[in-house]
Structure 1
Amino acid sequence: MKQLSHLNKYFWKYRWRLILGILFIFISNYFAVLAPQVTGYIIDKVQAHLTDAAQEKIVQQNDWLVTITIAWIEQFKFSFTGIVALFGLVLLLFAILRGFFMFLMRQTIIVMSRHIEYDQKSEVFQHYLQLDTNFYKTHETGDLMNRMAEDVSRVRMYTGPAIMYLINLIALIWLSVYYMVKKNPELSLYVLAPLPILAIAIYYVNNIINKKSEEVQAKLSDLTTNAQQSYSGIRVIKSFVQEKAMLRFFEKNSEDYRTSATALYKVEAIYFPIMGLIIGISTILVVLIGGLKYMNGQINFGDMAAFIMYLTMLAFPVSAIGWVASTIQRAAASQRRLNEFLLTKSTIPVTETGKEIELQGNIEFENVSFVYPHTGIKALSNFNLQIKKGEKIALIGRTGSGKSTIAQLLLRFYDPVAGVIRIDGTEIKDLALQAYRRQVSYVPQEVFLFSDTIANNIAFGGGNENEEAIRNAATSASVHRDIQTFPEQYQTMVGERGVTLSGGQKQRISIARALIKDPGLIILDDCLNAVDARTEKEILTHLATYLEDKTAIVITHRIFSLLQFDRILVMDDGFIAEQGTHEELLQKQGLYADLYNRQQLEETVS
């Protein structure tokens, strides 16, 4: 229950639903336990009529409502048949009242569990959005999805059905035992004697279930991750003809899950035979000991019949103890997995606290060093750079030289391990992060489009759904003509991750998404590697106009002659190996000149 204590805030939030639900459970079970008393009275009445004997040798100990009902019916002096019929109607009325309050019970507690499920999924998803980039590089998407879907659903089984059945069985057992003891304490003691065996069995089996439940959920996460990766990489799988290999991999994960789940259900299967055995032993004791007491005139036959009815009524709640205990253990295992992430704190909290500035575009890196925490790769070492407002900077270098790291540090996806980054004179850590990011446009190297319309994907960049603004951004990104050829044009659905579009079209839509904003800083991270030379020329022509009054950092492995950069930085192994204008760098005959000459040769050959 330590793990499940995280849910107490939800129970408090919906406390009135819970309180009403508990009240309805007790009322429903109250009417249920009255039925054996009425039945016992009728049996004694019938026995007395058939034997022409006095009805009661021993006065029955009934509930006040049953006593009042009996006295009210008896005063009318109906015939024997009429009295039995009236008591039959009383039993029917009790059953209807019990059913009505059971309906209210489910309407309060089960509906409450659905509200809690909604709140918890929202909490988990919101927390996911707050976590930093490193978290997502060290955790698999399938596991994240499984925790929010499957684990939250298992927890809902605790906040709804398990809570309801637990309170129900407590209420029914308490009321039944109360009236059994009220009728005959000695017989009740014999009937309840096997219960310690039940308690020991539940304690022992629950410990096993808890461990196996965690194992099952972990295996299910592996299975979900395997499936998610297969769906996302289906084109790669098909192109390398690896369908059978992936199927074998999936079957292995599925077999591991089946083995773990089967082992869990085998343990759970122990519950029901134990419950049946205990109910059976108790029933035998009632018949045996109750029969002897009846023969000795110590108990009415109707009371004995009531005891057997109480045991029959207790059969379901007692058997439900196993299901409730198993459900709670599963929920605890799932909540523990959820708490692992919910208690994970982002190293870069996404909050609105901090200094808010109107971004001008002055950037300073001072002795910045950075090591990727999930790999240990050193990307930057004592890196220094100053960019003034409105400057156009190109970062050029081979793969792994640290170019993209600079972009990620500027967006504060990571914090440097040493050194300081200042934006307009303010350390980036002191800025209100979301307010700062709203003023930055970023086109990542890995393009991602949402499964939505083209218009909504472009508007996502600035929340501007104005058709003219969307069209202008698409035109600047040289994708407007392509969009017009689609049947639905801007309302065309692009499919998951933009799968229905070509690589170049996805890149240009991603650029349009950045251009629809009016940022103080724009970062383009190798975002033209999937477009042809003619389209590249169009985009660069538009960008030259768009970037005129903005600070821009263009990360690339190509040299763009159509864009006039104030400075070109040649990165190598986390350092600035060379810097200067295009002409200055060519004169140095260094890395930049070598890159330029090779690019010219490739273009001549092509």
Structure 2
Amino acid sequence: MKSVLRFLARYARRNVPQYLLGGVMLFATNYVVVRIPAIIGETLNVLEARGTDALRSSQALALELVVLGLVVIVVRTLSRVLFFNPGRDIEYRLGVDIFGHLLHLQRPFYMRHKVGELASIASNDTQAVRLLVGFAGLQVCNVAVAIPLHLYQMWRTDPVLTLWCLAPVTLGGLYMRWTVRRFFGMVRDSMQLLARLSDRVLESYTGIGTVRAHAVEDATLERFEDRNAEYLRLQLRIAAIRSFSMPVLGVSGMVATAIVLWVGGQRVLDGHIPVGSMATFTTLLLSLVGILMALAWVLAAVSRGVVSVGRVEDVLATADGLPPVEDEARIVDPPRLQLRDLSFTYPDGDEPALAEISVTVEPGHTLGIFGKTGSGKTTLINLLSRVQTPPRGTVLLDGHDATALRLGVLREAMAVVPQAPFLFSSTLRDNVRLAEANPWAHEGKHEGGEPPDDPRLREVVAAACLEEDVRQLPQGLATVVGERGVMLSGGQRQRASLARALYRSRPILLLDDVLSAVDQGTEARLVQAIRNLRGGTLGEHPPTTVIVSHRTSVLEHADEILVLDHGRVLERGTHAELVARGGLYAQTHLHQGREAEGGER
């Protein structure tokens, strides 16, 4: 609980003035609420005396009652505004911090946590934290203020009755303490189940095409129903405990009220207290019981909020896993890329994914990577782009250790096309121009909301062989491609991803099997576009390029080619040299050439 309070204090620090003023309004609210029963009792006592003076006194008390009623409306509203608004503010800042932190966490974190779990934390848990610091915070403070004020006024009215009614109320409080212990564990389990349920839903929606293609809708629905039923059962247990808490507290309050009427009535008849005091005490007790019954709702909000704070804190406390920045160098021109005995083993792996890779790529030159599936080609690209962190001193850029550079500086110098391209649910234009943050906002818009002409965009669209596809799209480059580019074919997504990399025009270009889903004719044109990069056709300086492919025709232009097998260099040399040796590369080249000839026939 201390860690929860420290976490909340860190976020609520700037809202302290609002909370303090809200606390003042809350005290004023409860003071007036306690004062009103006292006025009612005084009025009854005055009316018992009868006479003209009694009438005038009762009228004055009635006027005071009306004024206090209006005051309650004002101060109660202010107390809620002053507590709820900081809750919304904290929810906003917490959401921004979570999203910003997730942007900087590395691949191992996302291998441990599923998207649905993170989405649940960013939405459901931040909402629960908002309720904790807003609604629940208000109610907890209200209970902390109201109970002492009520007990003080009840004691002033009649100490004997106060002692009599405390017994059943205390029993209700003990029951709530027992409930809290069970409630926290169940709420924690329910939040974890909700995260898994969210992940199942997101996974099913994302793969809806695959589900339908294999006609497994019923099986997918059954798995969802099983998880949903498990979540439902736990939620019903939580609801049962919460629902039972209110009657228990209500019964304890009714028992206390019955005791007050029994004992208090006798005390009125014996002349120990007037009727007005009896009315005051009963009204105060009923108000106190109402406050205690609200504890059932507060318990739910606090339990869920505390669990959510722990889950949010776990994410925010996760270190980014990056080595310290020791070199503030920036990469402006195409660098010399050196790999020195690069070896890498995944944390959960037994065998090295790469072993003793050494090569030097001169500025503006191209390195080709060839190998069978599982040979370590994508791992190499991930290490160069620091999706995975390579061992120190194994990847050098112009002599600078890549692990010592600031990650943002390194990524800014690279244009990377991954093996599985990802497109956002936006226009094709925005996807290609992803490198620009709101790229044409500062340039202004033409009438009709059209962006200004971008020669660079036209150039890379042509280089990526997307011109014909763009003409066939309903709105050209302004066509929304759908979630993950679902409106485009696999080859179109790859070419759009390549166009994005070409648009960036960075000193380093990393291509991971980007032509695997295109036909041979398109491949030839794309290979020519990549060759043009070497001559600077699409930029002032040709980038230092690493291109991975299982097609030998894509690698023909490379200055050097590494043939990988089980993470080790099996062969190396130019295309002509490798073909002449008759090894794996030459055999694959011959086989692919025959397939191409057969396809042409």
Q: Does 1:43 align with 2:44?
A: yes
Contact 1:382 1:419 in 2 (8 A): no
In structure 1, the partner of 2:10 is: 9
CA shift, 1:383, in A, is 1.8
In structure 2, the partner of 1:107 is: 81
Cα distance, 1:417–1:108 mapped onto 2, change above 3 Å:
same
Distance in 1, Cα, partners of 2:397 & 2:529: 27
Q: Does 1:555 align with 2:548?
A: yes
In structure 1, the partner of 2:30 is: 29
Distance in 2, Cα, partners of 1:183 & 1:230: 64
Distance in 1, Cα, partners of 2:76 & 2:324: 46
Contact 1:143 1:222 in 2 (8 A): yes
2:509 maps to a residue whose letter is I
Q: Does 1:474 align with 2:461?
A: yes
Matches within 5 A, 1:496-575: 496-548=483-535, 549-560=542-553, 564-575=557-568
Matches within 5 A, 1:372-521: 372-376=346-350, 378-416=352-390, 420-463=394-437, 464-465=439-440, 467-521=454-508
| SS of the residue 1:270 aligns to | helix
| SS of the residue 1:381 aligns to | strand
| SS of the residue 2:552 aligns to | coil
Cα distance, 1:228–1:377 mapped onto 2, change above 3 Å:
farther
The one-character-per-residue Cα deviations of 1:586-606 (angstroms, maximum 9, x if unpaired) are: 111111110101101111111
Distance in 1, Cα, partners of 2:225 & 2:575: 56
| SS of the residue 1:577 aligns to | strand
Contact 2:368 2:546 in 1 (8 A): yes
CA shift, 1:577, in A, is 0.7
CA shift, 1:417, in A, is 5.0
CA shift, 1:523, in A, is 0.5
Q: Does 1:283 align with 2:263?
A: no
2:264 maps to a residue whose letter is G
CA shift, 1:197, in A, is 1.9
Q: Does 1:298 align with 2:272?
A: yes
The one-character-per-residue Cα deviations of 1:510-534 (angstroms, maximum 9, x if unpaired) are: 1111111121110010011111222
CA shift, 1:285, in A, is 2.1
The runs of 5 or more residues in structure 1 that have no matched partner are 53-76
TM-score by length of 2: 0.92
Shifted more, 383-392 versus 508-517: the winner is 383-392
Distance in 2, Cα, partners of 1:27 & 1:353: 59
The one-character-per-residue Cα deviations of 1:347-366 (angstroms, maximum 9, x if unpaired) are: 22698984434353211121
Contact 2:22 2:80 in 1 (8 A): yes
Contact 1:370 1:418 in 2 (8 A): no
Contact 2:169 2:253 in 1 (8 A): no
Distance in 2, Cα, partners of 1:481 & 1:255: 50
Among all aligned residue pairs of Structure 1 and Structure 2, give the percentage whose two residues are the same amino acid: 29
Cα distance, 1:562–1:224 mapped onto 2, change above 3 Å:
closer
Distance in 2, Cα, partners of 1:139 & 1:259: 25
Which of 165, 173, 181 in structure 2 is aligned with 1:207?
Answer: 181
Matches within 5 A, 1:236-385: 236-348=210-322, 354-376=328-350, 378-385=352-359
Distance in 2, Cα, partners of 1:558 & 1:330: 54
| SS of the residue 2:77 aligns to | helix
Contact 1:209 1:330 in 2 (8 A): no
Alignment coverage as a number of residue pairs: 579
Contact 1:401 1:571 in 2 (8 A): yes
Distance in 2, Cα, partners of 1:453 & 1:351: 36
CA shift, 1:4, in A, is 2.1
Distance in 2, Cα, partners of 1:444 & 1:295: 89
Shifted more, 317-326 versus 185-194: the winner is 185-194
Shifted more, 339-348 versus 122-131: the winner is 339-348
The one-character-per-residue Cα deviations of 1:446-472 (angstroms, maximum 9, x if unpaired) are: 110001111111111344546322222
1:281 maps to a residue whose letter is V
In structure 2, the partner of 1:20 is: 21
Contact 1:507 1:527 in 2 (8 A): yes
CA shift, 1:374, in A, is 4.2
Distance in 1, Cα, partners of 2:556 & 2:462: 18
Contact 1:568 1:579 in 2 (8 A): yes
Cα distance, 1:78–1:45 mapped onto 2, change above 3 Å:
closer
Shifted more, 408-417 versus 499-508: the winner is 408-417
The one-character-per-residue Cα deviations of 1:526-545 (angstroms, maximum 9, x if unpaired) are: 01111122222222222211
Cα distance, 1:519–1:226 mapped onto 2, change above 3 Å:
same
Contact 1:3 1:335 in 2 (8 A): no
| SS of the residue 1:172 aligns to | helix
1:568 maps to a residue whose letter is I
Contact 1:408 1:414 in 2 (8 A): yes
Distance in 1, Cα, partners of 2:333 & 2:274: 90
CA shift, 1:198, in A, is 2.9
Distance in 1, Cα, partners of 2:328 & 2:172: 58
Matches within 5 A, 1:155-234: 155-234=129-208
Cα distance, 1:394–1:359 mapped onto 2, change above 3 Å:
same
2:99 maps to a residue whose letter is F
Contact 1:359 1:424 in 2 (8 A): no
Shifted more, 16-25 versus 368-377: the winner is 368-377
Shifted more, 575-584 versus 559-568: the winner is 559-568
